[in-house]
Structure 1
Amino acid sequence: MKVLLGPINNAGQPIALTKELRRQGVEAHCLTYQNHKYGYGADKEVCFDPYSRVDVQFQTLQECLKEDYDIYHFWFRSLFYGGFYEYFTGLDLPIIKNRGKKIVHSFTGFDLRFQSECMQKNPYNVFQYGWKNIFSEESARKYLNFLRYFVDEFVVLDEELQSYLPEAKIIPRVLDLDEWEYIGIKETDCPLVVHAPSSPAIKGTPFVNQAVQQLKEKGLKFEYREVTDLKHRDAMELYKRADIVIDQLLIGWYGVLTVEAMALGKPVMVYIQEDLYQPSQTIPVENVNPDNLTEKLRNLIQDFDRRKDLSRRGRAYVESVHDVKKVTKKLIGLYESVLKEKERREFSPESFDDLLYFKEQYIDSVGAVPYKPLLKQKTVQYEKLVQQLNQLRPKANRSDRLQEEVNQLTRKLKKYEGG
Structure 2
Amino acid sequence: MVEQARQARTVGGRPLRVLHCPWNIAGQSAQLAAAERELGLDSRCVVIEETACGFPADLALAPRSPSIVQRERARWRLLWQAMRWADVVHFSFGQSCLVPNAFPDLGRISWSNPLDIVWRLYCRAVWLKDLPLLAMMGKRLAVSWQGDDARQHDRSLELFDISIATALGSDYYPAGSDAWKRRAIQAFARHVPIHFALNPDLLHVLPEQARFLPYANLDLSRVEAAPPRPEEDGPLVFAHAPSHRGAKGTQHVLAAAERLKAEGFSFELRLIEGLPRATAMARYAEADIIIDQLLAGWYGGLGVEAMALGKPLIAYLRQADLAFVDPAMRAELPVIDADPATIAAVMRSTLLKPRAELHALGLASAAFARRWHDPRRVAARVIEAYRAR
For Structure 1 versus Structure 2, the TM-score category normalised by the shorter chain is 0.7 to 0.9
The partner residue of 2:244 within 199, 213, 219 is: 199
Alignment of 1:301 with 2:312, yes or no, is no
- Which residue of structure 2 lines up, in the alignment, with residue 75 of structure 1? 92
Gaps of 5+ in 2: 1-15, 105-122
Distance (whole Å) between structure 2 residues aligned to residue 246 and residue 323 of structure 1: 22
Q: What is the 5 A alignment of 1:117-132?
A: 117-131=155-169, 132=172
Alignment of 1:235 with 2:280, yes or no, is yes
Give the 3 Å change call, closer, same or farther, for CA 159–126 of structure 1 in structure 2: closer
8 Å CA contact retained: 1:122, 1:252: no
- CA deviation after TM superposition for structure 1 residue 218, in Å: 2.4
1:244-273 Cα shifts (integer Å, max 9, x gaps): 100010001111111111111101110001
- CA deviation after TM superposition for structure 1 residue 61, in Å: 1.5
8 Å CA contact retained: 2:308, 2:365: yes
Alignment of 1:93 with 2:131, yes or no, is yes
Alignment of 1:146 with 2:191, yes or no, is no
- Which residue of structure 1 lines up, in the alignment, with residue 367 of structure 2? 316
- Which residue of structure 2 lines up, in the alignment, with residue 168 of structure 1? 210
- Which residue of structure 2 lines up, in the alignment, with residue 155 of structure 1? 196
- Which residue of structure 2 lines up, in the alignment, with residue 44 of structure 1? 59
- CA deviation after TM superposition for structure 1 residue 171, in Å: 2.2
8 Å CA contact retained: 1:85, 1:143: no
1:295-325 Cα shifts (integer Å, max 9, x gaps): 1102202212442232122122112211112
Q: TM-score, normalised by structure 2?
A: 0.82
One-letter identity of the residue aligned with 1:159: P
Distance (whole Å) between structure 1 residues aligned to residue 160 and residue 90 of structure 2: 29
8 Å CA contact retained: 1:8, 1:75: yes
Distance (whole Å) between structure 2 residues aligned to residue 318 and residue 63 of structure 1: 34
Number of aligned positions between the proteins: 337
Distance (whole Å) between structure 2 residues aligned to residue 220 and residue 37 of structure 1: 38
1:1-48 Cα shifts (integer Å, max 9, x gaps): 110001111110000011111111100010112222211101111224
The partner residue of 1:115 within 153, 159, 170 is: 153
Distance (whole Å) between structure 1 residues aligned to residue 160 and residue 361 of structure 2: 25
- CA deviation after TM superposition for structure 1 residue 275, in Å: 2.2
- CA deviation after TM superposition for structure 1 residue 55, in Å: 3.3
Distance (whole Å) between structure 2 residues aligned to residue 120 and residue 309 of structure 1: 39
Q: Which moved more, 1:137-146 or 1:49-58?
A: 49-58
Q: TM-score, normalised by structure 1?
A: 0.77
1:353-391 Cα shifts (integer Å, max 9, x gaps): xxxxxxxxxxxxxxxxxxxxxxxxxxxxxxxxxxxxxxx
8 Å CA contact retained: 1:252, 1:273: yes
- Which residue of structure 2 lines up, in the alignment, with residue 397 of structure 1? none
- Which residue of structure 1 lines up, in the alignment, with residue 225 of structure 2? 182
Distance (whole Å) between structure 2 residues aligned to residue 3 and residue 277 of structure 1: 30
Backbone CA RMSD of aligned residues = 1.7
- Which residue of structure 2 lines up, in the alignment, with residue 343 of structure 1? none
- CA deviation after TM superposition for structure 1 residue 149, in Å: 2.1
One-letter identity of the residue aligned with 2:225: Y
Distance (whole Å) between structure 2 residues aligned to residue 64 and residue 322 of structure 1: 28
Distance (whole Å) between structure 2 residues aligned to residue 296 and residue 97 of structure 1: 49
- Which residue of structure 1 lines up, in the alignment, with residue 7 of structure 2? none
Identity %: 28
Give the 3 Å change call, closer, same or farther, for CA 234–121 of structure 1 in structure 2: same
Which entry has the higher C-alpha Rg, 1 or 2?
1
Distance (whole Å) between structure 2 residues aligned to residue 229 and residue 220 of structure 1: 28
- Which residue of structure 2 lines up, in the alignment, with residue 26 of structure 1? 41
The partner residue of 2:306 within 261, 280, 290 is: 261
Give the 3 Å change call, closer, same or farther, for CA 120–305 of structure 1 in structure 2: farther
One-letter identity of the residue aligned with 1:196: A
The SS at the match of 1:318 is: helix
- CA deviation after TM superposition for structure 1 residue 241, in Å: 1.2
1:194-242 Cα shifts (integer Å, max 9, x gaps): 0001111111111111111112222211111111121101111111111
8 Å CA contact retained: 1:61, 1:79: yes
